[in-house]
Homo-oligomer: A and B are copies of this chain.
Amino acid sequence: MIVTVVGVGLIGGSLAISLKEKGVANRIIGVDHNEENLRKAKELKIIDEGSSLEDAMTRSELIILAIPVDAVLKTLPSILDKVENGRVIMDVGSTKQKILQLVAGHPKRGRFVAAHPMAGTEYSGPEAAIQNLFSQKTMVLCDVKNSDEDALEMVEGIVDQLNMRTVYMNAEEHDLHTAYVSHISHITSFALALTVLKKEKEQGRIFELASGGFESTVRLAKSSPDTWVPIFRDNRNNVLDVLDEHIHQLQQMRKLLEDEDYETFYKLIQKSNKIRKILK
């Protein structure tokens, strides 16, 4: 089938590569408001051609929105207005409640499948697109009862082909759990980078001393604000809630260190070690 990918960056580009590789798509049309990205994506053979959204929509069975969540909010209603019968729209955004509220009453709501692949890297743009980004990862599908059966089946089939496991949630659950497991990690990492950049006046020292541990904790701080500010904005209440808990935990550790209560500090670290069991 012909697939259109709107936004040929890390996620859209990686999806394009996988869909072609798995034989799901025989042709990929790229749409991007950034002409340079479109040119690069073509050069890298991630897409077969660049086109306008209007033209691409008339020729594709599946249109994937791989753009920042604020851009999905802005464009999805008008895309649904124009979608022809039998065609499917799917997004891959990191927040779901606002988007699904926005199109809840749309007469063509059924053509839309809300998806979120739990996969990514800290890089962005078409050059960041890689093979096998999604293999063995989780795809969250949200509020599937509001999608048409054939649309859902198409997306489920693709998720299967991508070698991903599927998890079903409603939009509210999705935004809550992703705040806990994904969004707070990014906040932490951004704040850690700011901390080290502020305290460590001698940047050469950071380079010299940075071990794998530091690099892994601060890695997400390389992520693009174009992607992440809209996510934090959309999921503001949940992010504030988990951020409060995180600040509280840090303050608790600070207090124990200040009071030199190393016994309780030890127990707290043991408690945090429980993450071993969950993450294997």
A137: CB under 8 A from chain B? yes
Q: Within the oligomer, what is the number of copies of this chain?
A: 2
Contact of A118 among B167, B209, B242 (CB under 8 A): B209
Contact of A222 among B217, B245, B276 (CB under 8 A): B276
Task: Report the Cα distance A270→B227, complex, angstroms.
Answer: 12
| Sampled A-B contacts (27; CB under 8 Å) | A119-B212, A120-B211, A140-B209, A165-B208, A177-B209, A181-B206, A182-B211, A188-B217, A189-B272, A191-B250, A191-B253, A195-B249, A196-B242, A199-B241, A199-B245, A216-B216, A216-B219, A216-B220, A221-B273, A221-B275, A222-B273, A225-B269, A225-B273, A229-B266, A236-B257, A247-B254, A250-B250
Chain A interface extent, by class: 35 or more
Task: Report the Cα distance A241→B258, complex, angstroms.
Answer: 11
Given the complex, which residues of B lie within 8 Å of A186, measured CB to CB? Answer: 213
Residue in B closest to A214 when the chains form the complex, CB atoms = B185
Task: Report the Cα distance A188→B219, complex, angstroms.
Answer: 13
